[in-house]
Structure formats: C-alpha cells, structure tokens
Structure 1
Amino acid sequence: MGRPAPPPPRGAKKPPPPPEQPQDPYEFRTGEPRLLQAPGGTAPPAGRVVPIAMVTPLSGSRATSMQSREEQTTTLAPTSTQGSEGVLEPVGILQEQYQSLCLKKSKRVNSYILHILQEADEKIQNGEDRVTLNIPGNNRLIPVEKVTGEDFWLLCRVLRKNLNFQGLDMRYNSISDVGAYYASKLLQKKLNLTYLNLMFNEIGREGGELIAKALYKNKTLKYLRMTGNKIENEGGMFFAAMLQINSSLEKLDLGDCDLGMQSVIAFATVLTQNQTVMGININRPVLYGEQEESTVHLSNMLKENYHLAELHVCKHGITNYGMKYLCDALFLNSSLRYLDVSWLSVVSNNIRGKGLVDLSQAMQENLVLSNIYIWGNKFDEATCVAYSDLIQTGRLQPDNTDVKPFVVDGRLYLAEISNGLKKHYYWTPTYGEISNDLANAGFALVPVGQQP
C-alpha cells in the first residue's frame, strides 16, 4: 500500500473540479412532471421514444422532492416550439403524457393507444379543437392489442384534464368493471365529452351501476352506447333511475344487455316524463310472461311522449296482441320517426301478418313516422301488398325500410335489402368520415344536440 499524497502547501489554489458529463437532452427522469428540452429550448425529435434502459432514477432528497412536486401536478407541461410568427405550438402533448405516466407507474406502454394518441396530437396541431378518439378492439385491417382495464385507467388519467376531445370509442375491448369504474370517474369531470361508446367490453351489473350513477350530475354527455354489456335487469334499473335525474342525455343504446321485464317497464314509465331522450335502443331483452306487459307499457309511453324520435324494440317477441297496442299509440304520436320492430313473432290466432297490416295502416295516418323496419316477421300476401303500396305511393321511401317488393308468378313477395342504417353499428368506418347519414350506425336520423 503506497504512502498518501502530501497535503498542498498553505495558500495554494484548489484544483478545478472535473468537467460534468453531458446530459442526454432527451432523457426522461423518474418523478419529473415535465419533458426535458434540448439545448436552446428546442423540442425533442418527433416520434422519439426513450427506451426503459435510458431512464435514470433519482435518489435521496431530490427524488423525494420531485415526487412531491409530481403529486401536486396532474398534467405535464408540454414542450413547445417557436413558430415562424412567434406562436407557441404544443408538440406531442397526449402521447408524451401517456409515455411519462407509464414510466411513472411502471406500466407497459400499449402501442395501440400510443398510436391513436399520436394521431390525435397531429389533429390538435392542425387546428382541430374537437377530436374523437377511436380505439376499437375489432380493427379489420391490422391486428391490435385490446385495451384492458389497467390500460384504460392510464388513458383516463391522460384525458381527464384535456378539453380537446369530444368523443371516445372503446368498442370491443376488455375494460370490464374495472374500466367502467374509471369511465365513471371520467364522466364526473367537467369535460367536453359528448359521445362514449363502450359496447361489448365485458361490463357487468356493477360496472353498469357505476356508469349510471356517474350520469346523475353529468351535463355534457349526449350519446352513450353500452351495447352487449350484460348489465342485466339490475343494471337496467339503475339506468332507468338515472333518466329521472339526467337532463342532457339524448341517445341511449342498451341493446343486447339482457334487460329484464322489470327494467323495460321502468324505461317505459320514465320516458313518459323525460323530454330529453330522442332515441333509445332496448333490443333483445330477456322477457317472460305471455301478456306482453312491456309492449303495453311502451305503447302507453308513446301516447304521452312527444320528443322520442327513435325506438328500437327488436326481438321483443311482440305478437299481434302487442302490435295492436303499438298501432293505436302511433295514431296519437306525432314525434316518432324511426320504429324498428325487426325479428318479431306476429303469428297468433292463426291470423298471419295482421299485426304488420295494422302497422302499415297506422303509417298512413301518422305522417311523421318515416322509417320502419320489419324484416324477420312472418309475411303473408296481405302484408306484402300493404308494404308494396306504401313504397309505390311514396309514403315509405325505399331507403327508409329493409324490404323491397318483387313479383314471382303473379304473386307479390318482400325481399330483404341492405338499408345501411346499421352498416357501422359494430364497426367503425375504416377510411375517413361517413358521407351518407343513412350508412351510419342506428341513431343517425336525428343528430346529437339537435332537437327534432
């Protein structure tokens, strides 16, 4: 072991400290609630993703202070660039916040969500102030990673302070009741969200209850789609109770949710007083009994509700008995424009098609009803003649129904046609916006935010 170096002579100057290693200007540090800038205030190169290996953790008192700063800051300060006219423009706000949040929570980045947020950032930079995030899990062109409840939690953390988006389409993912909890928290924020699509996301009764209760005080959401989530009768009762309080929701889709007789009757009862809802879908409930109590209550509702424009009652098992009540209500109703009674059983008392003939006669008297869809019922010759007359006289436009008359050996028949109203019901449009309203998904006749 060598001898220690002698101390410097008294009065000598201390040697200068060694030069610091240059810091990577694009490095993310754990706990910092901001994005680091390159020298001179310029932004990191667009699209640069910092690998996990480049993240430098902080330690000691500095890490503690940075963590406390982050807890007080819910949004990250965006990196900006100086434009040609001196205007500061945000660069990569959503995607950078999402990446930073994943690093903070030690969660894996969902590449599908990151890609959608990058596209949203580009739209915002191009001047769009109302953006809809389409994150469907059933993309037909490219394989995508379905969003889980944990992924949706991180996404909601990013969106909850952003006022640039007005729609969120999460159809065919797997957010479950966990994601429904965070969706309810998102609805409780004062955002500009007007459209929320959660169809087929494995949400059950508990998740349905959370979302319904979140809408008690929500004043912005206009259109909610819960299609295919098995909230059952109990969950349907929570949504019916919500419609007694909510005064902003205009369209509600609860098709294929396994609603029960009690909840269907509850919706019919509530809609006699609710004057805001313009469209409701309660297709394919799980009904019991042979007296068609739900159909009778829906008919009574139509006699008193003069704001409802669309009613979807597919697969309700309505017979001629229930159809008679519906037709009587249509003689008095002056607001309904869209009636979907597809896939019904109208055979009873050996009178084939009488209910459909009564419906055609009601349409002759009700001049407001413009769209009617009847495919899947039992058509006798009288039914075929009645609807052929409606089409030929111009009372029923060919684009506003799902049947078309044709003649074989001197007898009139009805064939099914693709009317397009459910063209994008389960799939989002692949390229651009929908040019034809009739090709939209279900509720396209009365735009959101416009009273009939």
Structure 2
Amino acid sequence: MWKTCLRGRNFTLKLPGNTRPRQVQRLGDDDVLALCKCLQNSECVTGLDLRYNSITDGGAEHLAELLQGRSSLRCLDLMFNDVQAAGARVLGNSSLLSLRLSGNKIGRGGGMEVAGMLQENSTLQELQLADCDLDTVSVMALISALRRNEALRSVDISRPLLFSHQEEWAVHCSAMLTVNSSLVELHLGKMGMTDTGMERLTEGLRRNRGLRYLDLRCNRVTRDGARHLASMLKQNRVLEIVDLSSNRIEDDGAAHLSEAISWPGCSLKELSVCRNSIAAEGLLSLAQAVKANTSLTHIYIWGNYLEEPVFRELISSGRLRQEQTDVTPYEVDGHVFLAEVFQSLRKHVYSTDCDGTDVPAKTDATL
C-alpha cells in the first residue's frame, strides 16, 4: 500500500463485514480504534468502507477523533452497523465529503443532530440516511436544512418511520426543491407517499432547476399521482432519471407518463415502472412514447402484465436495445417467452470521489 502511496494514488480501504466466504469476525469498536491509529498519518487512504460490521457509538467516536486530526479521510461508509444518535452527532462535525449511515438506528435524536450539522456544514456532498428510524419531525428538520445547504448533491432519506397521514414532509420537501438548485439526486423510497403527497412534491419540482435523479420506489402512488408527475415532466427540463418502481399506476398512469415522455422537450432519459400493475394497453402506450422520444434510452418494465407482442413493439423501432431494458425473449419448442434480465436503473447518478472531485457513480479502488 505504501509503495502505491508514493506514486500519488488515493484509495478506498474496504473492510465490509459481509464478505463471502466469511473467515473473520466482524469489526468492533476496539478494531476501529486500532485501525484509526494506523490511519492517523496516512495520506493515501481517502475512503473507508466499514459496512455490515458491529461498530457502535464508541467506534464512531474513534473515527471522529481520526477525522479531527491530520487524516486525509474524505469518504466514510458505515452502513448497517450499530451507530445511534451519539455517533451521528460526533461524525456530523467533520470535513467529510461523503457520509453513509443507512441502516443505523439513529432515530429522531440522530436525525436532529445531523439536521443541525447541515445548517453550518459546507463540505458534505453525499449523505445517506435510509432505514435509520427517522420520524416525521427529524425528516422535516433534515429537509428544512436543505433549504440553506448549498453543498449537498445527493441525499437518501428512504424508509423512515412516518405515522402521520398528513404527509407534512412532502410539503416541506416541495418548498425546499423550489429554492434548492444544488441538489442533484434525491431518494424518497418507502415514504408511504400517496397521490396527495405526489401532488405536493411536484409543485416544487416544477420550479426546480437542479435535480436530475428522483427515486420514488415502493410508495403508494396510483394513476392520479402519475398524472401529477407527468404534468410536472412537461415543464421540468432538468430531471433525467425517475424510479417509480413498485407503485400502482396501472394503465391510466402509464398513459399519463407516455404523454409526458412524448411531449416536446421532455428531458427524461431513464425510467423504471417495474411492478406497477400495468397491462398491455399501458405498456403499448409507453412503447409508442419511446419511439417518439429521442432522449429516453432506458426503460424498465418487468413485474407488470407483460406479453411478447408488447415487448416486440417496444424494441421494434431500434430505439431501445435489449441491454437498456430488463426483459429478454427466449424460444422453447417454437414458442417465444419472456424472462427478466437483472438490469435496472443506476442506484446513483452522483458520486463523490475521495479526492474531492465530482464524478459519475463508479467503483472505487480497493485495497
């Protein structure tokens, strides 16, 4: 490693606890302390991947001390450990460019600590807080902080614990998107969003001029929500990728989206409507829209009521290659069947390189 450092290269050190085959136990707080001592004078390890270990607030404190020193660490991935509110507080006060805490149960307290940090932090560019047991209050605090934060480019707050049916968070998110022009990627999966929430959200998206990737997976959006989304897509000239998989827009919702895709100037490049109870009529309308739109290059449709003639229509124009969708035909005894291809939307459109350069999502160098 040190010979490589002399050549001026930076690395992400990857020590995930879910490596297969499993030969060693997962890292704990004492292991993190030893690791931090090794890294305190390192200039080449700029990223640290510690996912799926057993690190608690004590380990987070060791990492925070490392970050306060002369460490060159800029990207920290602690997804699915045992960090709670206290750990979130100490890690938030750092010069990190990327902080991934998804899967840690930081709860309301941790969410409020991070929201407070975002009020003043001007370095953090990527923040992942999915499945962190955030509640309505902490989610709204995080969204409100984004109204003034101009550094963040990518945010994931999917799967919070929201028990209110008023969808106040959607109102706050809409207001934030109206004024925030720096956010590029926003993940709002598993938020319990209904058509009413979608209507509120699209009000802000109509005036937004920065967001390129919108993740709305696994919500409760139906045809009316798809109509609001389609109306917004006719006016928004920035949004390029929409993930609407695992909702329930059906044929009518697919028709609304098809009209928006065919609209002159629609900027959409990638769309997922997997598992949306769409039948032949809706899928055919999407196929016609793909032919009309020269910018849309990827569409994912598996999990609907898909038939071979519909798929043939989708690719017949040559506009869509088979590697740009998630369905492929195969033949048995002269009969054509369809199979799922494990291709999907990119999980991220934005990634922060550990040397501080904005780059497309990519795989980091590994030690």
Deviation at 1:335, TM superposition (A): 0.5
C-alpha distance after superposition, 1:321-341 (max 9, x if no partner): 111111111111010111111
Cα displacement (A) at 1:387:
3.0
In the alignment, does 2:150 pair up with 1:150? no
Secondary structure class of the residue paired with 1:175: coil
- Give the alignment partner of residue 223 of structure 2, picking from 350, 353, 368: 353
- Equivalent of 2:249 in 376, 379, 385: 379
Between the aligned partners of 2:239 and 2:33, the Cα distance in structure 1 is 43
Contact 1:195 1:224 in 2 (8 A): yes
Q: How far, CA to CA, are the matches of 1:443 and 1:412 in structure 2?
A: 27
Indicate conservation of the 8 Å contact 1:388/1:404, yes or no: no
Quote the offset at 1:419 in angstroms.
Answer: 8.2
Report the counterpart of residue 143 of structure 2 in structure 1.
Answer: 268
Q: Which deviates more from structure 2 when the two are superposed, residues 245-254 or residues 384-393?
A: 384-393
8 Å CA contact 1:123–1:131 kept in 2: the answer is: no
| 3-state SS in 2 of match to 1:133 | strand
TM-score by length of 2: 0.75
| Cα separation, partners in 2 of 1:380 and 1:439, compared to 1, 3 Å | closer
Distance change in 2, residues 1:250/1:410 (3 Å): closer
Of residues 114, 136, 141, the one that matches 1:239 is: 114
The one-letter amino acid of 1:176's match is T
- RMSD value over aligned CA atoms? 2.9
Does the C-alpha gap of structure 1 residues 206 and 404 become closer, same or farther in structure 2, counting only changes over 3 Å?
closer
| Long gaps (5+) in structure 2 | 284-299, 304-322, 326-342, 360-367
Distance of aligned partners of 1:279 and 1:226 in 2 relative to their CA distance in 1, 3 Å threshold:
same
1:301 and 2:176 are equivalent in the alignment:
yes
Q: 1:134-188 deviations in whole A, cap 9, x for unaligned?
A: 1111113453431111111000011011112110001111121221110111121
Separation in 2 of the partners of 1:274 and 1:406?
35
Q: Deviations over 1:336-381 (max 9, x none)?
A: 11111111113xxxxx411112102211210100010001111221
Task: State how far apart, in whole Å, the 2-side matches of 1:354 and 1:304 are.
Answer: 26
Kindly indicate whether residue 131 of structure 2 is the aligned counterpart of residue 256 of structure 1: yes
* Counterpart code for 1:403: V
Deviation of 1:403 (Å): 2.9
CA deviations 1:189-246 (Å, max 9, x no partner) are 232212110001111222222222x32xx3xx11110010000011000000001111
Partner of 1:415: 301
Specify whether residues 183 and 442 from structure 1 end up closer, same or farther in structure 2 by C-alpha distance, changes over 3 A only.
farther
Indicate the structure (1 or 2) with the bigger Cα radius of gyration. 1
TM-score by length of 1: 0.62
Q: Supply the distance in 2 between the matched residues of 1:275 and 1:247 (Cα, whole angstroms).
A: 7
Q: Deviations over 1:37-93 (max 9, x none)?
A: xxxxxxxxxxxxxxxxxxxxxxxxxxxxxxxxxxxxxxxxxxxxxxxxxxxxxxxxx
Structure 2: distance between partners of 1:278 and 1:123: 30
What does 1:34-433 correspond to in 2, within 5 Å? 120-121=1-2, 123-124=4-5, 127-141=7-21, 143-212=23-92, 214-215=93-94, 218=95, 221-346=96-221, 352-389=222-259, 395-397=267-269, 400-403=270-273, 411-413=281-283, 415-416=301-302
Structure 1 unmatched ranges of 5 or more: 1-119, 347-351, 421-437
Aligned residue pairs, count:
303
Aligned partner of 1:208: which letter? A
